[in-house]
Structure 1
Amino acid sequence: VEQQRILGNTAPSIYDLRNLFQVNVEEGRHLWAMVYLLHAYFGREGREEAEQLLKRNSGDLDAPRILGAFNEATTDWLQFFMFTYFTDRDGKYQLGTLKESAFDPLARTCQFMLKEEAHHMFVGVTGVQRTVERTAELMAEHQTRDILAYGGIPLDIIQKYLNFQYSVSLDLFGSEQSTNAGNYYTAGLKGRWMEPRRRDDHVLIGATREMSYVEDGELRTRTVPLLNALNLDLRDEYAADCAAGVKRWNQVLEAAGVTERLILPHEGFNRKVGVYAGHHVSPTGEVLDEATWAARVADWLPGDADRAAVASLMVPEYEYGKFAGWIAPPRTGINDQPVEFDYVHLLEEGLA
């Protein structure tokens, strides 16, 4: 909510404004749900921790949010759509492990929160898809990749935003090897994604898996205990799910006759947490030295000029049924209502 609070000023449509409000309301309710559990079941320590939640603020220099992705500025609606696709999808997978918890109040709460996360991810996948659709239309119409002058977001900038949000969302899964994650699992505080569908003994004694890492400037793999690699197990499930959305966006490009494609960057790209932290890995998985990374990073991550270019297109459109020029309208409205439905009632200028 803190990150997205200014987006109403530049909403591309009333339809999108309504979706933003629902996301914010539900995110606020998620905070309430977690604070309720702390107050109801954890005594004084729970109350003190709940108070600390209110003292931390996104991007605050003295008391920032604990997780890095929640301190990044949501500068525009493309960033918002990428956030709701990639970062809320992390929420889906974290909640999916906690709904398996033996602590029943937590399990039941997370099961309910998952239903609301589904809407947030819908906003993300369709928001990016509609942006890509409009970009493809303008590329085909003007026979150029540089569509900024025609009111569209160039595909290379969309790719940079994708690279950024995917990489900071991967960091939310924590270190690939984690004793804490193994202890939580063993104690029954959390499970794995789709735990009932797993065909192992759910104890994981002796179970192993492969893990990639960087050594001597090369990507290598080693075998690690699965019990200590549960964060990596969850991250792999997440990455496969993210790839499905990118495939959907690429189908839009293909249908429009555009030859370029969006990609998910390598898992080691732009990482600040885990085995890739401190290393430079390109989106295609090439380990780079500091100088090469510095020379090429502007091609892969959005810079100030890219964000300023996108911001220049963020002109609000508040007429019912109308949409800003950089995004395509949705196929259908919300709750079987028409796209031009008055989802949000705006006060006339001058009224309090």
Structure 2
Amino acid sequence: MSGINYSDKIPNNVNLSEDRVLQRALEHWQPNYLNWWQTMGPENSQTADVYLRTAVSVKPDGWAHFDYVKMPDYRWGIFLTPRDGERKAHFGDNIGKDVWQEVPGEHRANLRRIIVTQGDTEPASVEQQRHLGLTAPSLYDLRNLFQVNVEEGRHLWAMVYLLHRYFGRDGREEGDALLQRNSGSEDSPRILGAFNEKTPDWLAFYMFTYFTDRDGKFQLCALAESCFDPLARTTRFMLTEEAHHMFVGESGVSRIVQRTAEVMNQLKTDDPATLRAAGVIDLPTIQRYLNFHFSVTIDLFGADQSSNAAMYYSAGLKGRFEEGKRTDDHQLKNDAYRILSVADGQLREIEVPMLNALNEVLRDDYIRDAASGVARWNKVLEKHGIEFRLRIPHKAFNRKIGALADVRVSPEGQVLTEEQWRLHQHEWLATDEDRAFVASLMGQVTVPGKFANWIAPPVIGINRQPVDFEYVRFN
């Protein structure tokens, strides 16, 4: 079960060759995927040799094998963690019963919806990032971008396998549709709003991989609790890869902050105009990017009250983050949770049934986790003697979904009038001028060990290689 045979047309550890109908269906889908990769994947990446990691098994010692690979030759496959024959449902109405190896008829539509929504995010992020390789600040960063891209592609394969294997014709049609929607398309956009936003520069990319891929972590952790065992086993392996994406984001922002702090000390100034003239990104601009990506991402968790979330939990389709570590009854029928509401121009907390507030529970877990990385960025500023501190905005800031949608709230949590919002919005969210300035710094650096002026080198390289290793070889 744990070994992966890369001589197969579709590498896998699910005994694909034993199901000829399924194998043929996926082999029919594969050329469409490769065509999508060529047309919507990383631009001008086809001929380079990239130092990528590839899983050789789903065991802890099987992650990962590093070698040079041409991007079109990367072997995407289907990997599930081994089946635990003793696994039981541990939340919802089915506690203590065997988990499902096939899709229960009554949950077919909802499970398909969950898988399609998760699957749609994977190619979307590749599409959002497809131009970034042309402005990579180093070969180290270019390699990390390409690693993120190929793993998002494999996550798409994981969801498509589930659709083909367990949902018949409907699943095959949904698998095809995952390649027909495109990020930002007016006619056929991606399902979730954050995945139709542009990622035009590397500061946006690092914020995306820190904040939005962290949403992926929490969604996958919730799905890893599912009573639908193939989904749980699939998402557990995906989490192994997701960790690197968040590392790319956290370390990338940290290195930008470090470089800015270095120049601030060299020039003995915090004046944004002076720092911009010196070719680094001023801290207020970094904060405005942070505000945007954080607020867009927390909308991905959905409405603060949701009957669907309650149904998914009670039915055993989707659990909470780290469900097994919680000490309640794992059914929550008598539990309550406090969520935000607006009354008389003020934010108020109201108590609602926890089952209906599970989106908010997951969102709050996410916010606590995201704050820890921001604290580490502030340690960089503290180390350099800089008083400025980056902050996560209030969770009601710039929301588009749920009870807080379009309520005007400052980053500090003050409810505003439309006029107050209009007057101060440019202080809180990246402006066209900000984005044009950041874009002006972007330019591809292809000399091993060299880095763009606006970002510091990493402390160590990938896979214990030196920082000046030739992570990408151009042919």
TM-score by length of 1: 0.98
Question: 2:367: which partner in 1?
Answer: 239
CA separation in 1, counterparts of 2:224 and 2:318? 7
The answer (yes or no) to whether the contact 2:398–2:406 under 8 Å persists in 1 is no
Cα deviation for residue 127 of structure 1 reads 0.2
Question: 1:338: which partner in 2?
Answer: 466
Residue of 161, 167, 173 corresponding to 2:301: 173
Question: 1:188: which partner in 2?
Answer: 316
SS at match of 2:154: helix
For residues 3-25 of structure 1, the C-alpha deviation after alignment (integer angstroms, 9 at most, x for no partner) is: 00000000000000000000000
Cα deviation for residue 148 of structure 1 reads 0.6
Aligned AA (1:303): T
CA separation in 1, counterparts of 2:345 and 2:446? 52
CA separation in 2, counterparts of 1:290 and 1:205? 39
* Residue 131 (1) aligns with residue 256 (2): yes
CA separation in 2, counterparts of 1:337 and 1:221? 51
Counting aligned pairs with the same residue, the percent is: 63
For residues 86-114 of structure 1, the C-alpha deviation after alignment (integer angstroms, 9 at most, x for no partner) is: 00000000000000111111001000000
* Residue 50 (1) aligns with residue 175 (2): yes
Cα deviation for residue 259 of structure 1 reads 0.6
Question: 1:65: which partner in 2?
Answer: 190
* Residue 4 (1) aligns with residue 132 (2): no
CA separation in 2, counterparts of 1:106 and 1:5? 28
* Residue 110 (1) aligns with residue 235 (2): yes
Cα deviation for residue 261 of structure 1 reads 0.4
CA separation in 2, counterparts of 1:43 and 1:103? 16
CA separation in 1, counterparts of 2:151 and 2:328? 35
Aligned AA (1:258): I
Residue of 354, 365, 380 corresponding to 1:226: 354
CA separation in 1, counterparts of 2:405 and 2:206? 26
CA separation in 2, counterparts of 1:336 and 1:85? 22
The answer (yes or no) to whether the contact 2:408–2:415 under 8 Å persists in 1 is yes
For residues 244-300 of structure 1, the C-alpha deviation after alignment (integer angstroms, 9 at most, x for no partner) is: 001000010011011110000000101001111021000000000101101100010
Question: 1:38: which partner in 2?
Answer: 163
Cα deviation for residue 178 of structure 1 reads 0.6
Question: 2:292: which partner in 1?
Answer: 164
Structure 2: segments with no counterpart, 5+ residues:
1-125
Residue of 73, 78, 89 corresponding to 2:203: 78
Residue of 389, 411, 431 corresponding to 1:303: 431
For residues 204-248 of structure 1, the C-alpha deviation after alignment (integer angstroms, 9 at most, x for no partner) is: 111001111112211011110001111000011100011000100
Q: CA RMSD in A?
A: 0.7
SS at match of 1:211: strand
SS at match of 2:341: strand
Aligned AA (2:168): G
SS at match of 2:128: coil
* Residue 15 (1) aligns with residue 143 (2): no
Question: 1:350: which partner in 2?
Answer: none
Aligned AA (2:461): G
Aligned AA (2:362): L
CA separation in 1, counterparts of 2:342 and 2:238? 36
CA separation in 1, counterparts of 2:190 and 2:251? 28
CA separation in 1, counterparts of 2:209 and 2:340? 28
Question: 2:331: which partner in 1?
Answer: 203
Aligned AA (1:3): Q
The answer (yes or no) to whether the contact 2:408–2:421 under 8 Å persists in 1 is yes
For residues 26-60 of structure 1, the C-alpha deviation after alignment (integer angstroms, 9 at most, x for no partner) is: 00111111011001100111112222211111000
Aligned AA (1:276): L
Structure 1: segments with no counterpart, 5+ residues:
348-352
Question: 1:277: which partner in 2?
Answer: 405
Aligned AA (2:174): E
TM-score by length of 2: 0.73
CA separation in 1, counterparts of 2:349 and 2:365? 19
Aligned AA (2:202): W
For residues 174-219 of structure 1, the C-alpha deviation after alignment (integer angstroms, 9 at most, x for no partner) is: 0011110111111111111001101011011110011111122110
